[in-house]
Amino acid sequence: MGSILQIMEPKSPSMTEPVRSLLSLPASCQVALRRFLLPFLILIISFPDTFSQRYFQQEVNYNIEVSLDDERHMLIAYETIWYINNSPDSLRILYFHLWPNAYSNNNTPLARQLFQLQGKQKLFNDPQLRGYIDSLDFKINAQPVQWELLPDKPDICKIILNQPLFTGDSILITTPFRVKIPKGVTSRLGHVGQSYQITQWFPKPAVYDETGWHPISYLDQGEFYSEYGRFDVSITLPANYVVGATGELQTPGEQKWLEQLATRTVCKDETIYDEDDFPASSEQTKKLRFTAGNAHDFAWFADKRFHVRKGEVKLPHSGREVTTRVMFTGVQAKLWENALSYVNDAICRFSEWIGDYPYQSYTAVQSALSAGAGMEYPGITVVGIQDDAYSLEEVLAHEIAHNWFYAALGSNERRFPFMDEGLTSAYTARYMDERHPNKKLWEVYVKNRKLAKLLNIEKMPVQRIGELQWLMQARDNLEQPLDLPATCYTDLNYGVMLYDKAAIGFNYLRAYLGDSLFDASIQNYYHQWKFRHPQPKDLRNAFESHTEKELTWFFNGLLSTTKQLDYKMVRLKGQHLLVKNKGELPAPLVLQGVGRDSLHFEKWVDGFEGERWVEIPGGDYSEIVIDPNHITPELYRLNNNIRKSGAFPKANPVVPNFLFSVEDPGKHTINYIPAINWTRENKFMIGVALHNGFLLPKAFEYFAMPFYAFGNNHLAGYGKIYYNITPYDKFIRKATISLEGKQFGAPGNQNYQKAEAGLELFFRNRNINSPFTQMVFGNYITASNLSQIVSGQKAEYSSFIQMGYRLQKAGMVNPLKLVASYESGSSFKKTALDLNYKLSYYGTAGLEFRLYAGVMLKKDPEVPFYALSASGRSGREHYLYRGTYPDRFAIFPNTFWSRQMTLSEGGLVTPVNNRMGYSNHLISLSLTSSLPEKAGWIPVKPFINILLNDHGLSEGPDSPFFFEGGLKTGLWNLFEVYVPLVVSRNIQTINGSFKDRIRFIFSLDLFNPVKLKSR
């Protein structure tokens, strides 16, 4: 997706340009311009500030009369807009948002985004999911005007004004409109039964600011940018609906009724909360009027089942009283019992920190929401179903904080989402941290203490969740800068960067500046930009003018690059500590002297590159630690501590841990899992699986499984170590070097062995949002000669080289993988192309294609299985010893395990290799499909394999054309049984018996914790 569309109006000459360019103008022009220039210069002198910023903002005042038809789920409305042009430009057109049209067909920007992110294809073919706005008839100052929808963007229209709208002038725009409300499962606007979420619903002018027009299509990932003004909205609907809306309720009868409901809710018996059906709508209707000032949006929520609670907050600075309400249904009544106090406390605390809450009232409503945990609108919030009280409080705090950074500070959220979500998330974290300083992560995210213990996270504070999520992306070098437009983020990074990392970043800045300086800066920003459109530079100015600190590291480093932070202890000499910045970001670091359970000093040091000696205070501490409280986004923490004494002051203890662990700074954890195993030659084995953690990628990773085998009294097992290099901003995103070893028993009372060295280079995507990724790989393998083993000889070693290129398109919809490879041994050489493609039906269901073409560049006449194999290789044919084969050397079909195979070159399933399978050339096509429609969940997939090779060119049984079709079933990628039902005649002559065509794959790769992670 491209960046934000900015359509520039032909503007009147810019105010700065005439001054600069006047000297170069021809004389006649100078005379003509002099008339303008003189008053202009006076203007510059008298308003230097206004002039240098050129800041202006349009004013848009709304009057909307709307009625709800709750049988047809329609809104019938009439809108009057008073638009005031405060810009220095004459406007000839206006852009209007018609956002309900985002749901109108499968080619809207919303539909295209949902298709890309969630694979939701042909979404709006379902009439229930479809929504639209129609019956529009725009008039300006009562005169009809020409208007048109933008091509491919039916949710934006352009109105061509009959006369230009001059600077300082205003117009009255009117239109009737009708909205079909979609079923509320797609995005923010919708209804669930007769529960209504009326958001992004009315025709609304796009923002016109100093950079021009900002018409933006409605999207799920990506928020909004709107003009400020007054709203006067009258809602007519059946009398028994409870309505929560932006602004102040101006209808006395309704105020009274809400009071009554609120008292009733407080006294109400619990049982009443159980009833959850919709009561019939009243015959009578009522008309409710809401007004709001200094607002840039208006949302309302209506439900006949809402319970209401009402309270009041006195704001700390002005003493002004704010009315607060919560509205919720019986489904979550128990949870919402304390919601009002969460709301009141959060409004109070945020007001203290940032400045008083901007409006007169605040309402939180609970609803079945389809756009995240909650969604913010001015003075009102909608919150979806929550799991527990902590989560509810957190979501409420987050949405309330939006009243400052979204509602009052009207930044362009689509272009700079961090200005809203980032600051909001930072304040949410600060608030929750203050409210629940001792909450543990497992209590909220794991919920089971025993499991938390097993995972070694019992003591981890809940605040660590954001850091963990961020580290997963950061360590894999998949971060994106924080100042990008919303549409430029991957689905995952939209959350990880804008919420998690931005929150860490702003709270890091706060820790560095200290609360009072940080709060003063933000208060300065809030008061200066309240009800206006601040830009990132205005946020920066607010900090820099207030703190006199050099904050380039934050605004030009942490915010706008993916430079990483990794400080490392080098040496300690008395009171001098040598610290090295292994990362690229010269950001401040915090040092602490830690003794037995007590803190001796804390010192902030301004950021630097390379190494630096730091003076540290003396004292009775035993260890110095960089950022022990996880304030800074440190990439690796195992190098963050140094002890005052001892032979190895930087060494961390090695601690064994059962099962799994999430990284624990300050110690090397070796995780162990007792394991048993069996192969035909080794018999019963006992051993242990060892690894250094899961979840978080690490520079150095290992997985080893040594066994003692009772059958041959030998050692057996498997091990692999990885070293990952993730350079900053380079052509290569990640380089992985690996070493692998394997030994298991083989016939003839010997062991087979294999050692493999690998290199994988993952390229950086220039456009990270592109689903395509590229990598190259190379492997050097030395392994026991399999043909010697199967012919009963003592095996020597053979060596192989592999290299290749992989192009992959990941994602839910139509994923694709293309691998070009080359392999050689001492006696053969081969090359191949392997294309896998899935045509998605819906969700994960689809038709899988595999196209394979291979050529032997050199063939070994002695060892057939080095050539291209037509069908899946059994263990006896797998000269590289890939996979886990309990009975690797079994002869088909003597034992159960002899039916095990690995899908290989040709993709056939029926075992034909020995008789006519190996070839010099091979081309094949495999098709596998999920069962259609609702049967898609049944774990059976039909398949068809077609293959042509050069083995025998005669007609009849030796035909080079192979065909098989059948069914496969099982646990995908772990254990899959293939049953070929129909086969071509040549296969039939070799494998006449249907039973002898059934084979299976069994892969334990799934359980390798290192491989579990996305790569």
In whole angstroms, the minimum distance from the beta carbon of 421 to Zn ion comes to 5
Closer to Zn ion at the Cβ: 354 or 863?
354
DSSP letter at 40 equals H
Closer to Zn ion at the Cβ: 405 or 881?
405
Closer to Zn ion at the Cβ: 376 or 467?
376
Given a contact cutoff of 8 angstroms between Cβ atoms, the answer to whether 150 and 199 are in contact is no
Taken in order 1006, 1007, 1013, 1015, the sign of the CA dihedral is negative
Rounded to an integer, what distance in angstroms lies between the CA atom of residue 768 and that of residue 497?
13
The burial of 91, by beta-carbon neighbours within 10 Å (0-12 exposed, 13-18 middle, 19 or more buried), is given as buried
In whole angstroms, the minimum distance from the beta carbon of 254 to Zn ion comes to 29
Closer to Zn ion at the Cβ: 357 or 752?
357
In whole angstroms, the minimum distance from the beta carbon of 398 to Zn ion comes to 6
Closer to Zn ion at the Cβ: 291 or 428?
428
In whole angstroms, the minimum distance from the beta carbon of 424 to Zn ion comes to 5
Taken in order 83, 86, 90, 94, the sign of the CA dihedral is negative
Given a contact cutoff of 8 angstroms between Cβ atoms, the answer to whether 538 and 572 are in contact is no
Write the CB contacts of 807 (distance below 8 Å, at least 6 apart in sequence): 772, 773, 774, 816, 817, 818
Return the axis-axis angle of helices 502-513 and 515-529, rounded to nearest 10°.
Answer: 120
In whole angstroms, the minimum distance from the beta carbon of 400 to Zn ion comes to 10
Rounded to an integer, what distance in angstroms lies between the CA atom of residue 94 and that of residue 157?
8
In whole angstroms, the minimum distance from the beta carbon of 399 to Zn ion comes to 7
Beta bridge partners, 739, equal 721, 757
Q: Which two tokens stand for residue 941?
A: 């997939």
Helix (H, G, I), strand (E, B) or coil at 635: coil
β-pair type (361-366, 380-383):
parallel
Closer to Zn ion at the Cβ: 421 or 663?
421
Return the axis-axis angle of helices 339-354 and 389-402, rounded to nearest 10°.
Answer: 40
Closer to Zn ion at the Cβ: 373 or 845?
373
In whole angstroms, the minimum distance from the beta carbon of 760 to Zn ion comes to 37
| CA 798 to each of CA 220, 697, 755, 876: distance values in angstroms, whole numbers, following the listed order | 56, 33, 11, 16
Given a contact cutoff of 8 angstroms between Cβ atoms, the answer to whether 183 and 128 are in contact is yes
In whole angstroms, the minimum distance from the beta carbon of 382 to Zn ion comes to 12
Query: Which runs of consecutive H residues, i.e. helices, occur in 47-82?
Result: 48-53
Count of residues that bind Zn ion according to CB under 5 A: 1
β-pair type (816-825, 797-809):
antiparallel
Closer to Zn ion at the Cβ: 89 or 421?
421
In whole angstroms, the minimum distance from the beta carbon of 225 to Zn ion comes to 15
In whole angstroms, the minimum distance from the beta carbon of 439 to Zn ion comes to 21
In whole angstroms, the minimum distance from the beta carbon of 547 to Zn ion comes to 26
Rounded to an integer, what distance in angstroms lies between the CA atom of residue 992 and that of residue 986?
10
Helix (H, G, I), strand (E, B) or coil at 256: helix
Q: According to CB under 5 A, which residues from 395 to 434 bind Zn ion?
A: 421
Given a contact cutoff of 8 angstroms between Cβ atoms, the answer to whether 362 and 347 are in contact is yes
Name the E strands within 336-488: 361-366, 374-377, 380-383
Closer to Zn ion at the Cβ: 399 or 664?
399
Rounded to an integer, what distance in angstroms lies between the CA atom of residue 368 and that of residue 183?
11
β-pair type (229-238, 59-69):
parallel
In whole angstroms, the minimum distance from the beta carbon of 283 to Zn ion comes to 40
Closer to Zn ion at the Cβ: 403 or 913?
403
Q: In what order do the strands lie in the sheet with 300-303?
A: 190-192, 195-198, 300-303, 242-245
Closer to Zn ion at the Cβ: 421 or 483?
421
Closer to Zn ion at the Cβ: 362 or 879?
362
State the residues that interact with Zn ion by CB under 5 A: 421
